Amino acid sequence: MSRSVVKAIRTSSKLPFRQLLLRSTPAALSYMLLPVAQVRWSSHSPLGTPPANARKPVTINTLQSLYRKNEPITMITAHDFPSAHVADQAGMDMVLVGDSLAMVALGMEDTSEVLMEEMLLHCRSVARATKAAFTVGDLPMGSYEISPSQALESSIRLVKEGRVKSVKLEGGIEMAPTISKITRAGIPVLAHIGLTPQRQNSLGGFRVQGKNTASAIKLLNDAYAVQEAGAFAVVLEAVPAEVAALVTKKLSIPTIGIGAGNGCSGQVLVQIDMLGNFPPGRFLPKFVKQFGNVWGESLRAIQQYKDEVKSGAYPAAEHTYPMPKDEFSEFERLIEEKRSRE
């Protein structure tokens, strides 16, 4: 039963109470007969109060409009409901369920370990929280490289089961037929070129791409290829800023930079990196700016909680639910009577 119905029943003064009882359902009666303080709703929901001015959902048309107006597109990763919820509330244009969750959420060594079933679980969690942002799900390694048909099947799963609005895959010219296959089926594709983490073994590690003329030309050709294949945008990762800016000018689709300078059409960062939600000493790529210190604040709060539990300071009286003294006295009396009988 909705809160509004319960409230209407419990506060109505148009009918005598006896008539209210006669006309109410059993479920309504159970609520009416409870004290107001006992009608409780979950205190664990991270949703909170909906924003006063909810945003319109971001669509492909929205992103194209931002691109035409030369307004930077904002994008961030999320891997679960809370991280997606805060990103959506912060006004992100796009939220990426990146395969980086392999490391930041699942404790894996690199992105190659994460499975399709794991990506689907995290995509669903993120999709439940994103009411406005345009969601993108990463196709994990092994789910799209064998053939365009395999890639389409995996993309359909991410959209149908993962509930995202588009998919991302790594690769340039060699992935053009795959991108074309997916987009012809009506699924938007975000391409990803430059440093492609799933292929880091063949690249000799996480190395900047496009640092010499031949590499920069390859990057531009890859960008042209994914654009021609139908990608709605392309991620440029770990590319010299001047190269990324030139590639952006040559294309007619947005570029989303990560370690590629501010000449791109937009930017993306891994949320945990930019929030500072990691212990001191962790390696960060040069392009990451730490906008917060979530780890430090979380550590402080949890340590304070531990100390207060150890000292008995928590929970204090204000954190408990007192029983009326007469009721507690009766409870004690009944306990004593039972004990004496035994």
Residues marked as catalytic: 237
Q: Is 210 exposed, middle or buried (0-12, 13-18, 19+ CB in 10 A)?
A: buried
Report CA-CA distances (Å) from 267 to 72, 254, 338. Answer: 8, 10, 70
C-alpha–C-alpha distance, residues 194 and 302, integer Å:
40
**Sequence-distant (≥ 6) Cβ neighbours of residue 281 within 8 angstroms:** none
Question: What gap in Å lies between CA 101 and CA 111, rounded to an integer?
Answer: 8
Radius of gyration of the chain (CA): 27
Contacts of 234 (CB under 8 A, 6+ apart): 190, 191, 192, 193, 223, 226, 227, 251, 253, 254, 255, 256
**Helical (H) or strand (E) element with 278:** none
Pair 247, 220: CB distance under 8 Å: yes
Range list of H helices, the chain: 3-11, 17-23, 26-32, 60-68, 81-89, 101-104, 116-129, 148-160, 176-184, 213-229, 241-250, 271-275, 294-311, 325-341
Strand partners, 166: 136
